[in-house]
Amino acid sequence: MASRGEKTPLSMVMMGGPIDASLSPTAVNNLAMNKPLSWFESHVIYRVPSNFEGAGRKVYPGFLQHSGFVAMNPQNHQNSHFDYFNDLIKGDNSSADSHRKFYDEYNAVLDMDADYYLETIATVFQEFKLVKGTWDVQNPQGKLERVKPQDITTSALLTVEGELDDISGSGQTRAAHGLCKGIPKARQEHYEAKGAGHYGIFSGRRWREQVYPVVQAFIANNHVKQTAVVKAVAKPAAKAAVKPKAIAKPKATAVVKVKVASKTAAPNNVAVKKTAAKKR
């Protein structure tokens, strides 16, 4: 958008994303970087069964994604379910409901389109195209154009990371600031959510109490600042506007008298007589 001269958002917020996956690589990064793309295509891509919508479509199934999430921290999930059982025994309905609400959302994982998934693996985790400045995308006209974060100049940028994120490692999201060199430092901020893992920066107590207030304030503050800048630019432009020239007074013109022969007469029966404006 910025490279085409289009308007960009007043603010951008990037949360827990691997902008530069080469920094502080996690187990997820290592798997993506150390296996060839063909391995992912043959091991995690399946066709949607015939009795489901989208039958035959190639996807990275949601159940495999969910299994991968749980396998990264099996002890934590085991403890969480054990606590849930104890809460039910004690009659602690409030804690039990919180557990259900969390896992209802955590377990809701959608299938991911195979092409999208494989392209992400190649572009983000193996070839690091965004960081290296070699990422080309198709524009609305169907032509390839280079992605240039440095062309962004009018948007404010906030990056958010979780202190304990084991999916997007420390510094991977913050790397966006180094790529967006055109954004003034005064409009760049970074926030690390203490005690939050990857999921915690998007949902739950830490999202509500730590992350959301920061995101809300950032967007609101930059909206006010940008609006003030626009008004400040508009005022000098208004003062510099050229004053309209005075309109000359019209000269005396002849008076036209119209005599109607009959109320029902046609237009061609109207007699017009011109007389001089001034008395003789």
- Under the banding of pLDDT at 50, 70 and 90, the label for residue 240 is low
Q: Are 179 and 19 in contact (CB under 8 A)?
A: yes
pLDDT of residue 237: 53
pLDDT of residue 238: 54
Q: Are 14 and 149 in contact (CB under 8 A)?
A: no
CB-CB neighbours of 128 under 10 Å: 18
- Average pLDDT over every residue of 185-213: 95
pLDDT above 90 (res 83): yes
pLDDT of residue 254: 45
Q: 119-155: per-residue pLDDT in tens?
A: 999 999 999 999 999 999 998 889 999 999 999 999 9
**Chain position carrying tokens 């154009």:** 145
Q: How high does pLDDT run on average in the chain?
A: 85
pLDDT of residue 204: 87
DSSP code per residue over 234-246 = HHHHHHTSPPPPP
Q: Is 160 exposed, middle or buried (0-12, 13-18, 19+ CB in 10 A)?
A: buried
pLDDT of residue 234: 55
DSSP one-letter code for 264 = T
pTM score, two decimals? 0.75
pLDDT of residue 224: 80
Q: How far apart are CA 225 and CA 183, in angstroms?
A: 14
Q: Are 12 and 156 in contact (CB under 8 A)?
A: yes
